[in-house]
Amino acid sequence: MKGVDLTDRQDEWSDWIDAQDVCTNMHISQRTLQTWRIEGLLPFSRIKGKLYYRKSDIFLLLKENYNGDLRRGDYESEDDEKGGMNASEM
């Protein structure tokens, strides 16, 4: 097999991050990351049991779930998600 020159693809290498770094940077648990994999929310690559993710896929996930306009009524507090009272019930 011919050697592959990877020097021209440095930008592609810098796009990959391992699972530990994903959890650290996003402040999530390994279990949450596993759930995202199972649900197909975040693509990944597995090499001999070690998981890698593209930073660009993580940023895309964040962008797709971004709620920049809180006036639309899409915002739910953590209490709302847990079945707590929302502002209209107070």
Residue 49 domain-assigned (yes or no): yes
> Counting every residue, how long is the chain?
90
Any domain includes 87: no
The verdict on residue 53 lying in a domain is: yes
For residue 62, the enclosing domain spans 15-66
Residue 90: pLDDT band (50, 70, 90) is: very low
Residue 22 lies in a domain: yes
Q: What is the pTM of this model?
A: 0.65
Which has more pLDDT, 77 or 14? 14
Which residue in this structure is represented by tokens 């990944």? 44
31 located within any domain: yes
Task: Tell me, yes or no, whether 39 lies in a domain.
Answer: yes
CB 18 within 8 Å of CB 25: no
Number of structural domains in the chain: 1
Q: What is the pLDDT of residues 31-47, one digit of tens each?
A: 999 999 999 999 999 99
> 47: domain CATH number?
1.10.10
Residue 13 confidence class, pLDDT cut points 50, 70, 90:
confident
Query: Which has the closest alpha carbon to 21: 61, 1, 50?
Result: 50
* Whole-number pLDDT of residue 86: 54
